[in-house]
Structure 1
């Protein structure tokens, strides 16, 4: 009897184990759309250099490689619940971008849950900026919010999502993993001294072992069709793709973009490869700690004797991307399955008020008074090269030995003089400085994003510049006006464009998506290697209780806030520590909030105690209008290469005809060159009846009409007028309605100048820049106002 019971027990255990490893079928779809965008003088996001922007021509020659939005849609057919993973070739994600796409999703599916979709970025430094409503980071050198670009991104990302939803097929999902060999120069720790301060590091690494002080593993989520054929994949490998430097003013997806392109060229048509980020905060694709030996090695690999890691190298970027692609394809095809993904889909996304998080004692590093500060940026993040010419990622770099440090010292001396002999700070100001010191020390705070001060000098001031203290005027002239990003920011402050909220986000999204027995956690901004490992372990320890076998942390997700370092790295104040904007306990705050979120996800959905009401604040349309679509203080002139492209396009009438036909689908009549009217185009196809003034570039034509089923649009950009006409039928035009691309009715902001049965002329002067939809006679036509 005992033997029989033992046999039955063993059989039950074996059958149970088999059931857990059984292959579950999901419905998986893939979407990919082009998000490459050209606009004269549009700045890039990444290096914080004002001159890093497209030229006044913004010609196709300024596209080195194209940018894409990639989406994977995973649906559980048993529950119809779906998870969407969206990855874009951008420097980061903004709340405005995320919110815009969610609104588009709810226009077709009103009950769409924003927690079901995670947005992440490759962090290329050569994608356009200007798609955040917050005035710092993505808007500082664009300059301002670039509404046409934001609307374009929203539409293109939305289309990649719809594409993925529409082509779902039965699939299985598995987790695999590989590791880069130590001798492949793929990635390096760029802040080794700070890394070595961590007590939980694997070991202390020597200066010449920067290649080992990173996570060299590449976990990969692989998708197979019903016949067992490999389809798309998502992998996670953290590294800054910064082979393309600010000395180049061209759009480029950098190594992560090249990796995806190389991989997709070797995959079945209609599938995609996502090269997601993880612990990239202190990792880069070149070894600046050992610059001489690394330079010699890479020069030989790419066959370029002139290679310099401080300058742009497209061959290096392609080589690095190719290595990541080869590793991912090798893992997909040749490595064993570690986990067969099976189980339900679950997700949560909440917002946290970061400055008011109470850090759990287990994450406070023994500090019973652990305090999260209001956001502020420190000296190491802004210092630039030191006086010996070393950049911030070289081993012996010292931010204190830099021109910026000297300027900071001069600024604080002037502040001391003013406050001692003229304008003493208030007791509230002193109390605030003390609180910030507790949270941020030993960081030397330069920019306070909450009080909006630069070296405690007001960025936002209602005082007439003539009323400012003479020493402040001197400081403005000698320091502020020498940096165009600072100058642009101070000008915006004086114009009342920075009055509302903070300069950077403080209400931050955290997210966990569970797909069967794996979890994907989305953290805003950049996170260093050890900080990433600690956060992952924190979440894993909790979710293991509900059968989660692996946690994957996706960085640059849902919003951008700079860096997150460990407490020990922060105290060292390397570049990443100086750019950890909420102070030394920022990682502890994230660990606290992710642990709370993961713990709630152990409960059934209806029993979770989560605050869904907290949301980021809204800026008024008035303030946004004051800092939207600004003209740069300094522009990049057209190069000879730019001009030659423009001349090539307009040199031959026959080739011009073909180009117009490609864009509009309607061959336009062309008279003499003197009568030609310049229109802009970005390289996307234009539907019948759609005139997007940002979508055609360097095409010189005369527009007679753009004919559709019934409606015609006659744009007149120079006079802010658009004429809607009805040429194909005798049906009278009804009243028109004008909406934003997000559905907001703005008809009250237009003025009807002339109206007849077949034509209506409207004045669009009071519309802010953006994409608009004209509704008339049951038809919708789009136009863009710059």
Structure 2
């Protein structure tokens, strides 16, 4: 087994977030850097291997997967490929987008952002390279527990449409299961992967600071604050990935309003929900129930989800049905009122958008096939027909000993995840608890609701793009590759997804040039720190800076807190730490203000400190030059 971690942080200034679908969600700094965490597991007998990658990203897209596989092939040939590589996203909503090849996901980002894309791809490959270099014998253990205070069902009405047999395992409307793989080497723990279902929406759409949100904090806390990992130096002693499962209808906002619950401070909530996930995972990690043993194996098929015939054994009504070209409902435009509401003119539910309903009913009369597939959705946009979304999608099944991981590029709800696990476990003849559903993997294609939830047409149903029979279609295809895996035969690869890298368009101009503010030079301190602080106080320093997009400082930092140690300065924190915030703002036309804050932790050693800024300025002729500065010293008192 091997572990690796790398920086994938995108554009920290004027990068647009895609997951809330808001034009005004624009990055203006960093709270937590984005990371890619990779684990490779190899069967020493057969040589088969799988690579599990969890990224602090909003979504995973085919564009990224294709680029990663191409780069890996240059390094390793066919050793890591489409079939044995799982690329997952935590679905944090606090990171820049613009790295998809389909227009739907790039509308609010003003097209494709090459620098964010490159940071994501290069960082993922780097994390896999590091995991490969880290390969050595070890022991993997498996454990399970429950966590009840880190999620709430944000679509309870749709959930109540499901049969009692599906609701019975979830009396609180949530999936509380937390599943942990523990990695040990030479008798000591070196890593963990936790799967738990909750959305990455603790930070609301108004936030402009890059962050891995609650799962990013959970990983950061375990690695940095508990295990003492220094991300910028050396091989990490411990890597902790907090992966997604089936949180389609689950929110971390326990008060079911954006940015609220347990408190009214979104940053405090991010830390609380992240800490609860860490504590739930740690309790399982400390007492795993079984050791992983057995084969490594994998299957993957690409499926045309726009025209899939679904057999009666999967539809539930004894009849054959067909999926259809992707559409988005008016309920999609309404957004999730609990996490990220859309324009007020759109409403969730059937019949609540009368103008769109009138047009949709006329379309259903004209096309019984469309009605059979998409009703009762009020169709707002034909994204499939317009070429705005993918139709060929990956369906994957991985085996690590007795653990089976179902990965698919959708956001399954609690009940959708249950049905997928039941179906795969039944076909494999294994306990249901040994099957995990990993959503947000390998590509992205909206939500996955049960047919009964789909009928409610809440936000999740409106974003279930391929129609009412999408979940049965996924069950059918997963059953097929599960049968293949059990029988030891290859799965049909299916149609190749298109490579759209040659058609990318960007509508946002890049940095034209930088200029220092009038009266200042680059790196000058505009607002100095106080002379003395105590633990718990905040240090604030403003610098005359430059646009961060000139260089993303991947693997580095824009700001650093340093403590004096004789004639040397020791790094205490940087822009990847929870205690710091890096803020950027325009100052006039070409000048930039950079503000660094440091919330002094309670365990900070007394001494003399300073804050350092490192940036890069672009001249009118396009050359980029490193710049920087340091604050005056200040004392942190005992």
TM-score by length of 2: 0.76
Q: 2:553 pairs with 679, 683, 687, which one?
A: 683
Q: Is 1:544 equivalent to 2:503 in the alignment?
A: no
Cα 1:684–1:130 shift into 2, 3 Å: same
1:446 maps to which residue? 380
Tell me, yes or no, if structure 1 residue 41 matches structure 2 residue 14.
yes
Task: Summarize the alignment of residues 287-326 of structure 1 with structure 2, pairs less than 5 Å apart.
Answer: 287-288=254-255, 298-299=262-263, 307=264, 313-326=266-279
What whole-Å deviation, never above 9, does each CA across 1:99-119 have from its counterpart, x for those lacking one?
111011100112233211100
Change (3 A) 1:169 1:406: same
In angstroms, what is the RMSD of aligned CA positions? 3.8
1:193 counterpart residue number: 157
For residues 315 and 559 of structure 1, what CA distance do their matches in structure 2 show?
31
Q: Which moved more, 1:80-89 or 1:556-565?
A: 80-89
- Kept in 2, the 8 Å contact 1:31–1:164? The answer is yes
SS, match of residue 300 in structure 2: strand
Sort the Cα spacing of 1:271 and 1:440 in 2 relative to 1 into closer, same or farther, 3 A.
same
Taking structure 1 as reference, are residues 595 and 219 closer, same or farther at Cα in structure 2, changes over 3 Å only? Answer: same
Alpha-carbon displacement from aligned partner over 1:702-753 (angstroms, at most 9, x marks no partner): xxxxxxxxxxxxx99756799xxxxxxxxxxxxxxxxxxxxxxxxxxxxxxx
Structure 2 vs 1, CA of residues 260 and 211 (structure 1 numbering), >3 Å: closer, same or farther? farther
Report the CA distance shift for 1:523/1:190 in structure 2 as closer, same or farther (over 3 A).
same
On the 8 A contact 2:550/2:618 being kept in 1, the answer is no
Cα contact 1:518–1:548 (8 A) shared by 2: no
Q: Does 1:366 align with 2:342?
A: no
Change beyond 3 A, Cα 1:677–1:88? closer
Q: TM-score, normalised by structure 1?
A: 0.62
Partner of 2:533: none
Per the alignment, residue 760 of structure 1 pairs with none
Asked if the contact 2:310/2:320 (under 8 Å) is kept, the reply is no
Give yes or no for the alignment of 1:249 onto 2:208: yes
Tell me the matched-pair count: 536
Secondary structure of residue in 2 paired with 1:165? helix
**Aligned-pair CA distance for 1:341:** 1.0
Distance 1:106 1:212 in 2: 46
State the partner residue of 2:281.
328
Unaligned runs of 5+ in 1: 1-27, 300-306, 417-428, 453-501, 656-672, 687-696, 701-714, 723-786
- CA deviation map 1:309-344 (0-9, x unaligned): xxx6100111110111111112111x2x33321112
Q: In the TM superposition, what whole-angstrom CA distance separates every residue of 1:224-277 from its partner, at most 9, and x where no partner exists? A: 1132x2221111111112111111111111101111111113237422111111
Of 183, 201, 218 in structure 2, the residue corresponding to residue 223 of structure 1 is 183
Number of the residue aligned with 1:114: 82
Q: Say which of 615, 636, 642 aligns to 2:496.
A: 615
How many Å separate the matches in 1 of 2:295 and 2:495?
A: 27
Could you list the per-position Cα deviations for residues 659-702 of structure 1 after superposition, in whole angstroms to 9, with x for gaps in the alignment?
A: xxxxxxxxxxxxxx9xx99992222369xxxxxxxxxx9999xx
Q: Following the alignment from structure 1 to structure 2, what is the Cα–Cα distance between the partners of residues 679 and 532?
A: 39
Aligned partner of 2:600 in structure 1 is: none
1:691-706 matches, cutoff 5 A: none
Match of 1:520 in 2: 405
Report SS of the residue matched to 1:235. strand
By how many angstroms is 1:298 displaced? 2.5
Q: Which has the higher helix share?
A: 1
SS for the counterpart of 2:285 is: helix
Instruction: Report the equivalent of 2:440.
Output: 556
User: Residue in 2 aligned with 1:473?
Assistant: none
Q: Distance in 1 between matches of 2:457 and 2:278?
A: 34
Deviation at residue 431 of structure 1 after TM alignment: 8.8
Aligned counterparts of 2:205 and 2:341: Cα–Cα separation in 1:
15
Partner residue, 2:470: 586
Report the counterpart of residue 128 of structure 1 in structure 2.
Answer: 96
- Compared CA separation, residues 401 and 677, structure 1 to 2 (3 A): closer
Query: Taking structure 1 as reference, are residues 390 and 615 closer, same or farther at Cα in structure 2, changes over 3 Å only?
Result: closer
Contact 2:101–2:501 (Cα < 8 Å) also in 1 = no
Relative to 1, partners in 2 of residues 1:528 and 1:716: Cα closer, same or farther, differing over 3 Å? closer
| Structure 1 residue matching 2:102: 3-state secondary structure | coil
What is the aligned partner in structure 2 of residue 355 from structure 1?
306
Distance 2:137 2:354 in 1: 62
Contact 1:92 1:525 in 2 (8 A): no
- The 2-side partners of 1:678 and 1:561 are apart by 31
User: Alpha carbons of 1:35 and 1:407: their partners in 2 closer, same or farther (altered >3 Å)?
Assistant: farther
Change (3 A) 1:167 1:384: closer
2:237 is aligned, of 270, 273, 282, to: 270
Query: Which whole-Å CA distance do the structure 2 matches of 1:379 and 1:350 have between them?
Result: 31
Larger Rg: 1
Deviation sequence 1:502-528 (CA, Å, 0-9, x none): 211110001111112221111112000
CA distance in 2, matches of 1:89, 1:379: 29
Conserved 8 A contact 1:263-1:326: no
Counterpart in 1 of 2:353? 405
The answer to whether structure 1 residue 531 and structure 2 residue 416 are counterparts is: yes
User: Which residue does 2:604 correspond to in 1?
Assistant: none
SS at match of 2:429: helix
Query: Are the equivalent residues in 2 in contact too, given 1:392–1:398 (CA < 8 A)?
Result: no
2:238 counterpart SS class: coil
SS in 2 for 1:115: coil
Q: Distance in 1 between matches of 2:370 and 2:12?
A: 40
Where does the alignment leave 5 or more consecutive residues of structure 2 unmatched?
229-235, 529-543, 557-583, 592-616, 625-638
Counterpart Cα distance in 1 of 2:384 and 2:415 = 28
- DSSP 3-state at the match of 1:175: strand
The 1:169/1:110 distance shift into structure 2, 3 A limit, reads closer
Q: Secondary structure at the match of 2:479?
A: helix
8 A Cα contact 2:311 2:319, kept in partner = no
Report the equivalent of 2:566.
Answer: none
**Structure-2 separation of matches of 1:365 and 1:164:** 43
Q: How many Å separate the matches in 2 of 1:119 and 1:390?
A: 25
Bigger mean CA deviation after superposition, 524-533 or 215-224: 215-224
> Which residue among 255, 258, 270 is the counterpart of 2:217?
258
Aligned equivalents of 2:122, 2:58: Cα separation in 1: 18
> Within 5 Å, which residues of 2 pair with 1:718-733?
none
Deviation of 1:143 (Å)? 1.6
Structure 2 distance, partners of 1:344, 1:611, is: 21
The 1:366/1:159 distance shift into structure 2, 3 A limit, reads same
Give the aligned partner of residue 612 of structure 2.
none
Alpha-carbon separation, structure 2, partners of 1:616 and 1:371 = 20
* Distance change >3 Å, CA 679–CA 86, structure 1 → 2: closer
Change (3 A) 1:356 1:262: same
Question: Quick check: 2:9–2:120 contact (8 Å CA) kept in 1?
Answer: no
How far apart, in 1, do the equivalents of 2:221 and 2:407 lie? 26
In 1, distance between residues paired with 2:459 and 2:520? 44
| Paired residue secondary structure (1:349) | strand
Match of 1:87, SS state, is: strand
Taking the aligned partners of 1:275 and 1:243, their CA distance within structure 2 comes to 15
